[in-house]
Structure 1
Amino acid sequence: MKDAIEFKKEYEKSKQIQIILGQDDKKKQTIRELLDSNPNVSWEEFHENAMRCNIVEHDWYDFIAPAMHKLNDMNTIYDYVENMGEASVSFIKLFRERLAKMPAIGWPYADAPKVGNFAERFFYGSHLNNSAQREALELLWDWAAKEDRWSAQKTIISMMERNKIQNEDLADHLAYYVLEVDKAFHNLKSVKTNLIKSPSLRRAVLNLQDRLN
C-alpha cells in the first residue's frame, strides 16, 4: 500500500513537471519551440501552431522573431501563401495584432528594421493574394508612421516613388489607410510626389506633406 501511495505521488509530481515544461500537450508549443524541434515543419502545422499563438516568455522571442525567420524570403512566403490560401491572411492579421500589443521593453531594439523588411517581402511574396498584400502594406505603414521607424519609412517611400504598388485597388487601399491612420513622419517631406502614378496615393501623401509644412 505504501509503495502504491509513493508511486502515485511520484506520478503526480512527474505530471506536474511535464505540464510546466509543456511536454504534456504539443498544442502548447510556441512557434519557436516548434521550429527548434522541426525546422522543416509542414505549412499546415506551422499555420496551426501560429494561430494558437502560445507565448511563454515574450511575443518577440516566442512568436514574432521565429515567424519572420521561417518566412525569411519572398519565395518561402509565396509557397506559404499558395499552400494556405486565405488562411495566410489570418496569420498576417494575427502577426500585426501581436506586434501592436507587444511590450515596449524586453526585445532587441536593434532588430526593429526586421519588421519593415518582413512586411515588404510579405507584400511581394503574397502577390497572388490581394488581401494578404493589403495587410502587409498596412503593417509597413504602421511601422513607418505609428512606430516612426526610419528603415520602414525609407522602404515605403521607395515603393511609392518607384510605383511598386501597381495594382490600383492596392494603391487606393494604401491611400485610404494613410489618411485613416492620420499620422505623418518627417521623411515624408522628401517624397517626390510627381513620381507617384496613383492619383489617390499622390493626393494622400500631399495631404500629409501639407500638415508637415
Structure 2
Amino acid sequence: MIDNLIYENVKGEGSFALVSRYRDLHGNKFAVKKIKKEVMTNEGDVNRFRREIDILTVLKGEPHIVPLLDSNEKELWYVMPFAEKNLYEYISQNNQTLTEADRVEIFEKILDGISIAHSKSILHRDISPNNILKIGDEWYICDFGLGKDYSKYTKGGYSSVTGYGSILYAAPEQIDKLKDASVQSDIYSLGKIFYFILTGKEPRDINDAPSYKSVIKGAASERVEDRYENVSILKKEVAKYKNLYSVMSTTNLQDMTVRDYLAQTQRVNWNEFYEVAMKFNVTDHVYYDFVDPITTILSDTKTIESFYTTINNNMYDFIVLFRQALEKCYTSTGWPFSSVNSFGYFLNRLYRVVSTDSRCQMECLKELWDIAAYHDQWAVQETIIGILQENSILQENEREFALYMLEMDKTFAKLRNATTGRISSRDIVRVITHLKANK
C-alpha cells in the first residue's frame, strides 16, 4: 500500500518512531508510522515496534481501535487513517462549547475500545489524550507501543525504554516498574482521562471534578486494590451516574427564555443557546428576556466568533430573528431607550465577524442604517459612516444596500456632512448624493 501513497510531511515524532502524513491520488490522507533509522539497531525498540504491529493485528477491525491498513514487520512501518486531531487538541479547542453529554459520550467510546483490548488480554499501558484520535466523527485508541499481550508474553515489558507512559496519566505502580502494570493500571489512566475530558484540565488534582467524582476516584485511586476490578464495572458505573444526573437535570430548553437559560447555565453551550434563542420565548418583555441577554453574552468579537463557528450557516436566521425582536422593542414601552446604541455596537461586532457572509452582512447593514437614520442615534451614525468610508461592504451587497437606503428615503445630519470621496461604490455615492439633495 505504501508504494501507492505520496509523502507530504512529518506529522509527529516520538522517542523511537516518526509519524508522517501521506495521501493517495484521490486526496485521501493516511498516517504512516515508521521506526527511526537511528534506533534500528536497538533490539528493545525494534521488538517494541513489532509488538505494536502484532497487537494492532490482533485488534484489527475492532471498534474504537485505530485501523491497521497495512504493515511490514521487516521494514518496520504500518499505515493507518490520518487523524486531524487527537483528544487533547479537540478538548482544548472545544472546551467552552462541549456539553457534559458530549464529553461522556466520548469517554464511553474510549471505554469500549479499551474493554475490547482487555477482552483479548491486551493492556495498553500508555492511555493519554495524545493517544486517542478523532478520525471523522469517531474516536480511536492508538499507539500501543507500550502495549502488552499478557496471554502471549509473560516476561516483563520494556523496562529499558524511557518513561512508562505519559506521566500524568500513568498509574504509580506502572511508573515504578512497567512490568507490574495490570488491568487496574489502564483503569487508573482511564479515570485521569475522564477527568481531563470533563474539565479540559490536566489531571494533577482529580478532587475538583465537577461531576462523576466518585467514578473518577474509583478508577484513579492511588491504591490498586481500591480501583474498579475491570472496565466492564467502570462502564456500568458511568452509565449509572449518567442516569442519575439525567434525573437531576431540570433544564427544559423548550420553555426557557434566553435570560432564563443564561441565568441557569455556568458554561454556555452555543448549540443550546441558539436553540433557546430561536424559540423566541418571552414571559416579561422582549428586551429583558431576549435582546439584552443576547447583546450582553455576545459582548465581544471573540465570543461572537465562537458562537458563529458553532452554528455557522444558522447565523443568518439568528440575525433575522434578532432584527424582529428589535422591531418589537421599538414599538413597545417599559425598556430603556438609551440601550439603542448598544444594539448598534452589537450589530457592528456581528458585521465584523460575518464579513464574508453576504446575507448576514446585509441584515446587519440594514439594521445599522435603521438605527442611524430612523432612530437618530449619533454613535451608530458614526459607525455606519465608518463602514461606508472603509469600503468593507462586500461588492455583491453594495447595490442592494444602496437600494435599501434609497427605499427608506431617510438621512441624518452626520451623513449630510460626511465626504464621499473615500467611498468606492458608485451606487452608494449616488444614493447619498440624492439623499443630501432632497432632505
TM-score normalized with structure 1 length:
0.83
| Whole-angstrom distance in 2 between the partners of 1:170 and 1:39 | 39
- The answer for the alignment partner of 1:150 in structure 2 is 378
Q: Does 1:36 pair with 2:36?
A: no
Deviations 1:36-72 (A, max 9, x none): 1115221110111000011111111100010111211
Q: Kindly report which structure 2 residues correspond to 1:79-158, keeping only aligned pairs within 5 A, or say none.
A: 79-102=306-329, 103-158=331-386
> Which of 289, 296, 302 is matched with 1:69 structurally?
296
In structure 1, how many angstroms separate the alpha carbons of the residues matched to 2:251 and 2:295? 27
Cα RMSD (Å) = 1.7
Aligned partner of 2:244 in structure 1 is: none
Separation of aligned partners in 2, 1:110 and 1:147? 11
**Separation (CA, whole Å) in 1 of partners of 2:343 and 2:350:** 10
- Report deviation, 1:25: 4.6
Residues in 2 aligned to 1:29 and 1:75: alpha-carbon distance in whole angstroms: 25
Is residue 183 of structure 1 aligned with residue 424 of structure 2? no
The sequence identity of aligned pairs, in percent, is: 33
- Structure 1 position 143, deviation (Å): 0.8
Greater per-residue helix proportion? 1
State the Cα deviation string for residues 104-140 of structure 1 (Å, max 9, x = none).
3211122221011011110001123221111111111
Count of equivalent residues: 189
Structure with greater strand percent: 2
**Could you list the per-position Cα deviations for residues 144-170 of structure 1 after superposition, in whole angstroms to 9, with x for gaps in the alignment?**
1122211111110122123232x2112
CA deviations over 1:156-186 (Å, ceiling 9, x no partner): 0122123232x21122222121112221222
The one-letter code of the counterpart of 1:34 is Y
Greater relative contact order (CA < 8 Å, ≥ 6 in sequence): 1
Q: Structure 1: where are the runs of 5+ without partners? A: 1-22
User: What is the aligned partner in structure 1 of residue 127 from structure 2?
Assistant: none
> Could you say which residue in structure 1 is the equivalent of 2:189?
none
* Residue 421 of structure 2, aligned match among 189, 194, 197: 194
Give runs of ≥4 in structure 1 deviating > 6 Å: none
Provide the secondary structure at the position in 2 that maps to 1:196.
coil
1:61-112, Cα deviation, whole Å (9 max, x unpaired): 1000101112111222222222212211101000001111224321112222
Q: Is residue 431 of structure 2 the alignment partner of residue 170 of structure 1?
A: no
Q: TM-score, normalised by structure 2?
A: 0.41
**Structure with bigger gyration radius:** 2
SS at match of 1:107: coil
Question: 5+ residue gaps in structure 2?
Answer: 1-249
